[in-house]
Structure 1
Amino acid sequence: MNGSEIYHRLISLIEERVLKPGDRLREADLAERFGVSRTPIREGLKRLEAQGLAVHEPNRGMVIPTLDHSQINEVYFMREVLEGTAAGLAAKHASKPEIEILQDLVDADRKRIADKDSLVRSNREFHRRLCLAAHNRYLVDQIDHLRLSLILMAGTTLDTPERRETAVEEHAAIVSAIAAGDGEAADKAARLHISHAHKTRLRQI
């Protein structure tokens, strides 16, 4: 297992909340966990640090950082801009199969409201598919980078059944606008969805 593989494994562990903001990242512990030498661990941690997903703290060493209130606001502001733009572009460029996949995700999600963990995974897939449907590689790269910041936030905005139901219907509105080829409505629906998620996140903290 090389440094790149270690990096992606660490990302997955943070995303799945096995590793959480505030946790220490000890080379020896990680080497034992993954069954490798410290060299690939060191390489993976350097890449994690370059992405802002690990920082050095006095007397603690390398840790997973916690986003403060201002940083959370900044991340959600950029999400509105970027994902709104992605939805607007998807209304112009998404293929029929891409739209059908988005609709299939919405239909499936309506049946899994009670299963939070499953819905959280599906929610990530929906947003990934939405961004890909924009057919703009530079936009996708920016959103992928922003997604890394999101995994530093504790918990999920889908903690309550009420928010889960609302979020799925917001996804449905985005897909409807994309299917209709209405870029302005798709942009507006996506921005509204992220704005509601932002408010939910602020209430949680």
Structure 2
Amino acid sequence: MLSLYRPGHSVLHRLPAGPKMLVLAVAAIALAALPTAAGAAAVCAGAVLLAYVVPGVGLRELGRQVWGLRWIFAVTAIGQLLFLGPEPALANTARVTAAVLVAALVPLTTRVDDLLDALERGLGPLRRIGMDTERAALLLAVTITTIPVLARLAAEVREAQRARGVRPSLRAGLVPFTVLSLRHADQLGEALAARGVR
């Protein structure tokens, strides 16, 4: 499995995977639940800065995450502007952006093996009703790590278009993005099959 883990010695890196996921999930939900007001944007920006700077993950990594997800944020903002107006659009986009960036700290500061173990332990009680917790944990871990990968692939497609002198566009980038995504899925499938996952 492709890992997004960045080695480090921050507080988040040292925190066990289970408590870390719980803390970051609560933080992301709290940010997403902020009242719709312009002040929510400032709260979200401050929370994200603290989440990346205080534990030592760094502003460079924050910038990389924002750049990789910029189109998702742009689409969110445009949709909100069209239907709700400027102030709610600012607040709602800030809440979504903050929640995504805080959630991104999980795969950045947690090894995939630790993530799988924590998810499997957390889903343990569901074994009583017949759930295969190993497969469920694997599915969740793959989902968590795949979203930023797809964002990175989209950025690579746009950069390749610029390098060829082509103006980046959704229509021109759709086919190469689909090919790269399918190639990533094949590599992921082969890696899982090599580990005995069917």
Superposition TM-score, scaled by structure 2 size? 0.32
Superposition TM-score, scaled by structure 1 size? 0.32
Structure with greater helix percent: 2
